[in-house]
Structures are given as C-alpha cells and as structure tokens.
A and B are shown apart, each in its own frame.
Chain A
Amino acid sequence: MRSGIIFSAIIHILLVVVLLFGLPSYFEKKITEESAVIVEILPVADITNVKPRRKVVPKSKPKRKPSSSAKIKPALPDPTKKPKPKMSKPEPKPKKAPKIAKKPKPEPKIVQKDVKPIVRPPKKEEKKVEEKKEEEKPEDLFASVLNTVEEIETSQKDEKETEEDNLDFSDIEDMLASSNDQPKYMPGLPLSISEKDAIINQIMRNWNTSSFSGAKDAHKMIVTLIVIFNKDGTVEKITRKNTTRYHSDRVYRSMVESAERAVRKSSPLKDLPPEKYAVKDGWREMKINFDPSQMMY
C-alpha cells in the first residue's frame, strides 16, 4: 500500500518536472552567438497617407489595407476663452525716488527699480467638455454621405461590425479615418509612430528657437518636460525636469521657456485618438525632449 503511494507520488513529481522543464534532447544543439543588438520597439500602425497639415490618424488595425486618401479636415477649435474672476485691487504704484535733474553734460541719473508682479487670486480653468467630439459631429453627416458608396463596396471585406454599435465615439473616428474600411476596434493599443509623428509635427512647428539660437552652448542643451494633457488635447500641466539648472542658468531658462511656449501654443493637440488617451503608453502623459543640437552649430 505504502509503496504504491510512494510510487505514485514519484511518478507525479516526475510528470510535473517534465511539464516544467521538458524532455531532455539528445540532438545536437546549435550554439547561438549572442550579440547585443540595440532595438527600439516602435509599434507601427497602418500606412498613413496623410498630408502634413491635416493629418487624419487611423487606428491601428490588425489587417493592412492600403487606404486611399480621404481628407476630411477636422474643424479648428475656437481660440481659448477662459473666463477669469474679476481682478482685485491693482498693486499701488512703485515709490518715486526724488531726483533732481542735472545738466546733460554729466549724464543724468537714471533710477531703476524692479516692479513686482500683480497679486491675483488663483485662476480656475474651465474644463472644455469634449469640444473635439462636438466638432467632429457635423463632419459625420458629410463623411457619411461620402462614405456610403465605399461602405457598400467594402462591406463584404468587413470584419465584425457589431462592436461599432456600442462605441459611438469610435464610429466617428472610423468614418473620419478611412474611406474604404470599416476598421475593427482594438482598444488599449499604445501610441503608434504615425501618431507620435503627428504630435512631433505640431509641437515642432511652434518651437521658436530664436531666443537661444546664438547661445554659447546651445548645441549642448537639452530640455525635458513632462506634460499632462486633457482628453480634449489641451495642456493640463507642464512639469520641468532639472529645475536646479533652470534657476541657475538664465540661458537654459530661456530654452526651457521656449519649449513650454511651444507646447502651450500647440494646445489643443489635434488628431489624437481618444481611446489611446488613458492607456499605458497613451498620450495623456508624455515626456517631451527638446534637443536643438541638429539645428545649432
């Protein structure tokens, strides 16, 4: 009886070991040379056939379908209007230093003083409610008209369409994104190259480098900002990295400020898929590196 149990136990353990480690192989094993290869993992989406200005970013799809151009311009959002609370008393004028003017030959004295910033209550920013979504809605009708013909054509090739009914948001995106396809909705995918490029292009256009272009070590300075975006593409918060240098190096500060201006000017970011907002590696929070070394001498 005992020996049976023991025997059974041993066999079971053996089975577990085999399952874990596999059977030993008696064939020659090739020794693979290991050499370090530096790779950058970039998720690649469909071929984006977009013109530089009006990028319509397609969702990443499992099957590749060459999409022909269907340029539907998303409407530009209105200039930001943030209502502010009424300003409290303005700061009193700086004190005058009594000075008697002298004859021009010896230079007249100039009295310079710093002017402190106006004290004001903290602003409360209104959250823009899905402005982007609203803008796209009027486009739907147009887009739908344009697309109906192609939809009929390609409906045979379509994959599961049932999911579209549940996700009205993605519907709008889909119609804008492609003419031929009914894309399959794949949530949770990280930001692809084309979408990153869309972000880069928007910020690049607005990055004004003239304020630090002649600086002594302009080609050696790199600025990194951590930026948090709202779902509508506007900037929620910008955090600077390397704050000690910001406070000690005036020229570095001017570069940091030019980077912040570039980000703020590009707000709201356009053409970014909302479903990739809050995912891991999504565009809600990103690290933006400004490196002018290619531009500076």
Chain B
Amino acid sequence: MRKVFKFLLVVFFVFSSQKANALISIDITRGNVDPLPIALPYLGSENKEARKLGEKIINVVEKDLQNSGLFRSITRRAFIQEINSSNTLPEFASWSSINASALATGGINLVGEEEFEMEFRLWDVLAQQQIAGKSYNTNKNNWRRIAHLMADEIYKRLTGEDGYFDTRVVYVSESGPATKRVKRLAIMDQDGANHRYLTDGSELVLTPRFSPAAQKVIYMSYSDSIPKVYMLDVDTLKREVVGNFTGMSFAPRFSPDGKSVVLSASVGGNSEIYKMDLRNRRKVRLTKNSAIDTSPSFSPDASKIVFNSDRGGNQQLYTMDSNGRNIRRISFGKGRYGTPVWSPRGDLIAFTKMYKGRFYIGVMRTDGSGERLLTESYLDEGPTWSPNGRVIMFARQKKHRANTKGEWQIYSVDLTGYNEKLIKTPMDASDPAWSPLLTK
C-alpha cells in the first residue's frame, strides 16, 4: 500500500512539473533602431556660477551622446519634474510619461577659488532604479574633461562598451594653394574643441599615428626631401627622431603596448614590412616577397598583423602572425584594397577600397567575411578607429570643380554605417588619428 502511494506521489509530481513548463513562448525578432531617449536636466546648485558651469557641462554631455547617434536628448521644456540635486529621488512616472528611458540627475558646487566638484546619478526610468553614479573633483578650467567623462560613463553603462568621448584626434591641417601647400599637425578634442597646432608648418608632415598606450604621436616629416620619422609628446611637445627611413611612404603604426612599431620600407623598389623595437631601434624583417607589401597594422592582442600586398596580382589584404609566418589572404572582392587598420575591439578590420573610380571606406571581419562598405565618394581614405572600436574617422576630398580646389575634410561614421558626420576644423583636414582614452 505504501509503495503504491509513493509511486502515485511520484507520478503526480512528474505530471505537475510538466504542467509548470507549459509556458507560452513569444519570439521577438525585430525592434526599432531609434536612438535611446535620455533626459539630461541641468545640474542643480545653490551657487549661480556653479550652475552656469553645470549647464556648460551638461550641454557638452548632450552633444557627445547625440553625436554618437545612439542617444536622443529629450528637450528640457518637456520635463515635468524639476530636479535640483542628485539626492532627490525622481518621480519616475513623470519621466516615463515624456518617454525617457534613462535620466541623469546631478549637482555641482564650487570648491575654493579654483576648483569644483560635481556628482551625477544615472537612472533607469522604467526599472525605477539607479544604474550608475560618479562624482568628480577638479580644476575649473578642466570642466570639458569632466563632461566627456560623464558622457563616457553614461555610454558605458547603457551600451556595455567603453566610451570614446574623452579622447583627442590628431590630424594634418592643410592650407594654402595646391602648389604651395602648408601642412601642420593639429590636435583637438574628438568634438572639435580645444584646437591647437603641434607643428609650425615649416616641414611637410604626413600620416600621424597615435600611440595606444601614451599621449604620443608618431609621424613622418619631410625636410629637404628626406623623410624622417618623429615621435612627439602632444602635451609637452617634446620631439625625438625615431629614424631616417628612406623608401617610406607612410609613418609606422604602434604595437598595442606602444613599445614597438610596424612599418613598411622599400629597398631597391621592393617594399617589405618590418617590425622595430622603439627602445633599441632594432629592425626585424617580416615579409620576404618581391611584391609590394605595405601599410601594416597590429591586432589589439599583438598576435597578428594585417597589411596589403599585390602578391596575388592586385592590391588585396592579408593577415599574418606577428613573426611573419602564416600569411593568409582575407580580401577577395573586385577592386583594390588598402590602408587596413585593425579595430581596437579586435573583431573588424577597416580599409579603403578603390573600385571603378570611386573610393569606399569599409569594414570586414578578421577572416575576411562580412565585408561591408560604409561610405562612398570621389575620394575617401585613411580610416582610424575610436578606442572602443565603434566609430571610424576618415578623410574625404571633394571633387575639383572648375576653379575650386578639392577640399579635404574629416568625417566620422559609425561601424554600422549610420551617422556619417562632418568634423568641423578651422582649415582643410586630412589623415586623422584617434587617441586612446585620456584616462586609463
């Protein structure tokens, strides 16, 4: 009797557990691609000057987030609740009724004569809880960096990836007629602010590259037709010569630790790829082929190098191990592929493609699959990645028309192909190079 009872009990539980698994299943396979609506009220403060500073900061944060294409800032006139400090709990219903998915509240105070402190909290309006919060303390003049740090923190918490707003871009600023072009190195914040020149224009400068590990830039300079490679510290402006390399057409690229570079140099008409340790300046040759091998770029884990070569008949992309072994072709499309740059995120390679007289900036996966062209124009070239591998900057030249010379300008585009934007510079600009995050 007992056994029968136990058996029945087991059977009962088996059946009842089956019933519990019978949940209806709903599959959502599409969503919308609208930018995430976020509310950014101004920082609260009792001091008028602090409040004005807070407004400037939030305006920069707003611009950063909107320019990324992933966020949309809700107009302040729509706000229902007035929040004046980060310690106030938001009335989430009033924020969700204006369609905000996220909300950032905060306060700011002056500290002494020279400094200020601020803090903010990021709220998930629909889940009704705080999801991030940071406080900052620094010199008053440094307020822009705080704004970028706050924008990075918001970006990071909502997308899961590191931000890229607290970065700078070095580029070649061009001016003057085509016959007497003056090229200077210039640096600016990624949003165009704090623009200044790094060289005086007496020498021709080309292809600056930012170190991924320090605020240093390596670039090529021509003086008396002899190309020299220089390393420049952008903060101290100290400059050192890396070497005289004859037969180089562009500057070397850094390894991920910033301690060595990879470069291409042609000897006797044969362009090969070399790796060079920056400390002892010793060079190691990586390619041995009569074809033109050039434009190398390291992967972020330093295990591989991507470069272009015409050993297959026309200019295509190849990868190899960082010791030169295991060379593999990855591009097979029609046209010519050049200037490959490995994404700092490691999953994509950006390149310039030339086909039927048009230029394209594209990306492909590191095995060559999934090739996508993001831009197209008369002349697009020289992609550089943001440090989080989400945004690409490149140079574009407009077609010459009658009397106008073709302008050179820098544009940025998201890796999804959306959000192509012009980056405003005082004069013509080309050869952009993106810095790593300033705080690491």
**Whole-angstrom distance between the Cβ of B78 and the nearest chain A Cβ:** 14
Among residues 69 to 83 in chain B, which have CB atoms less than 8 Å away from a CB atom of chain A?
Answer: 69-71
Among residues 190 to 225 in chain A, which have CB atoms less than 8 Å away from a CB atom of chain B?
Answer: 190-191, 196, 199-200, 203-216
B184 interface residue per 8 A CB criterion: no
B428 interface residue per 8 A CB criterion: no
The stretch among B86-94, B298-306, B375-383, B397-405 that forms the contact with chain A is B86-94
CA distance A209 to B158 in the complex (A): 11
The stretch among A17-25, A49-57, A157-165, A245-253 that forms the contact with chain B is A245-253
B224 interface residue per 8 A CB criterion: no
**CB atoms of A79 and B28 under 8 A apart:** no
**CB atoms of B36 and A211 under 8 A apart:** yes
Given contacts A107-B235, A251-B160, contact A210 B35 (CB under 8 A): yes
**CB atoms of B126 and A115 under 8 A apart:** no
**CB atoms of B136 and A110 under 8 A apart:** yes
CA distance A282 to B22 in the complex (A): 10
**CB atoms of B121 and A210 under 8 A apart:** no
CA distance A209 to B149 in the complex (A): 24
**CB atoms of B29 and A292 under 8 A apart:** yes
A96 interface residue per 8 A CB criterion: yes
Give the chain B neighbours of A93 by CB distance below 8 A.
87, 119
The stretch among A136-144, A173-181, A258-266 that forms the contact with chain B is A258-266
CA distance A213 to B26 in the complex (A): 21
Give the chain B neighbours of A79 by CB distance below 8 A.
93, 96-97
**Contact residue among B28, B97, B140 (Cβ-Cβ distance under 8 Å from A203):** B28
CA distance A287 to B25 in the complex (A): 5
Give the chain B neighbours of A260 by CB distance below 8 A.
126-127
**Whole-angstrom distance between the Cβ of B222 and the nearest chain A Cβ:** 29
CA distance A280 to B22 in the complex (A): 7
**Contact residue among A109, A114, A115 (Cβ-Cβ distance under 8 Å from B138):** A109
**CB atoms of A289 and B138 under 8 A apart:** no
**CB atoms of B127 and A264 under 8 A apart:** yes
Give the chain B neighbours of A290 by CB distance below 8 A.
28, 31
Give the chain A neighbours of B416 by CB distance below 8 A.
213-214, 297
Give the chain A neighbours of B26 by CB distance below 8 A.
196, 199-200, 203, 286-289
Give the chain A neighbours of B129 by CB distance below 8 A.
117
**Whole-angstrom distance between the Cβ of A296 and the nearest chain B Cβ:** 9
Given contacts A211-B70, A214-B390, contact A286 B130 (CB under 8 A): no
Give the chain B neighbours of A191 by CB distance below 8 A.
24
The stretch among B52-60, B110-118, B257-265, B308-316 that forms the contact with chain A is B110-118
CA distance A207 to B35 in the complex (A): 11
**CB atoms of B141 and A105 under 8 A apart:** no
**CB atoms of A80 and B137 under 8 A apart:** no
CA distance A123 to B91 in the complex (A): 13
**CB atoms of B29 and A291 under 8 A apart:** yes
Give the chain B neighbours of A208 by CB distance below 8 A.
31-32, 34, 36, 101
CA distance A286 to B142 in the complex (A): 51
Q: Mark B137-174, 1 if CB is under 8 A from A, else 0.
A: 11111100110010000001011110000000000000
Give the chain A neighbours of B35 by CB distance below 8 A.
210
CA distance A116 to B140 in the complex (A): 25
**Whole-angstrom distance between the Cβ of B372 and the nearest chain A Cβ:** 7
A4 interface residue per 8 A CB criterion: no
**Whole-angstrom distance between the Cβ of A61 and the nearest chain B Cβ:** 20
**CB atoms of A291 and B28 under 8 A apart:** yes
CA distance A135 to B437 in the complex (A): 54
**Whole-angstrom distance between the Cβ of A189 and the nearest chain B Cβ:** 12
CA distance A215 to B156 in the complex (A): 12
**CB atoms of A215 and B161 under 8 A apart:** yes
A31 interface residue per 8 A CB criterion: no
B134 interface residue per 8 A CB criterion: yes
CA distance A58 to B119 in the complex (A): 53
**CB atoms of B23 and A261 under 8 A apart:** no
**Whole-angstrom distance between the Cβ of A58 and the nearest chain B Cβ:** 18
B30 interface residue per 8 A CB criterion: yes
B179 interface residue per 8 A CB criterion: no
Give the chain B neighbours of A155 by CB distance below 8 A.
none
Among residues 147 to 169 in chain A, which have CB atoms less than 8 Å away from a CB atom of chain B?
Answer: none
Give the chain A neighbours of B347 by CB distance below 8 A.
216
Chain A residue nearest to B28 (CB atoms) is A290
**CB atoms of A251 and B149 under 8 A apart:** no
**CB atoms of A212 and B159 under 8 A apart:** yes
CA distance A42 to B114 in the complex (A): 69
CA distance A263 to B149 in the complex (A): 31
Q: Mark B304-341, 1 if CB is under 8 A from A, else 0.
A: 00000000000000000000000000000000000000
A257 interface residue per 8 A CB criterion: yes
Give the chain B neighbours of A81 by CB distance below 8 A.
93
B349 interface residue per 8 A CB criterion: no
A12 interface residue per 8 A CB criterion: no
**CB atoms of B87 and A91 under 8 A apart:** yes
**CB atoms of B135 and A112 under 8 A apart:** yes
**CB atoms of A190 and B415 under 8 A apart:** no
A281 interface residue per 8 A CB criterion: yes
Chain A residue nearest to B140 (CB atoms) is A101
**CB atoms of B23 and A287 under 8 A apart:** yes
**CB atoms of A283 and B24 under 8 A apart:** yes
**Whole-angstrom distance between the Cβ of B234 and the nearest chain A Cβ:** 11
**CB atoms of A118 and B130 under 8 A apart:** yes
B345 interface residue per 8 A CB criterion: yes
**CB atoms of B126 and A117 under 8 A apart:** no
A-B residue pairs, 8 tightest by C-beta? A115-B133, A207-B31, A250-B160, A251-B160, A90-B87, A254-B160, A101-B139, A264-B126
Q: Name B residues whose Cβ lies closer than 8 Å to a Cβ of A.
A: 19, 22-36, 69-71, 85-89, 93, 96-97, 101, 111, 114-115, 117, 119-121, 124, 126-130, 133-142, 145-146, 149, 156, 158-161, 235-236, 345, 347, 370, 372, 390, 414-416, 438-439
Q: Give 18 A-B contacts (CB < 8 Å), ordered by A residue.
A: A110-B439, A114-B135, A116-B133, A123-B128, A204-B30, A209-B32, A210-B69, A210-B70, A211-B36, A212-B159, A213-B416, A215-B161, A250-B156, A265-B126, A286-B25, A287-B25, A291-B27, A294-B30
- For the complex with contacts A114-B134, A289-B27, 17 further pairs of A-B residues with Cβ separation under 8 Å are A80-B96, A90-B88, A91-B87, A106-B235, A110-B137, A110-B138, A205-B32, A207-B31, A210-B35, A210-B69, A214-B161, A214-B415, A251-B160, A254-B158, A254-B160, A261-B101, A292-B29
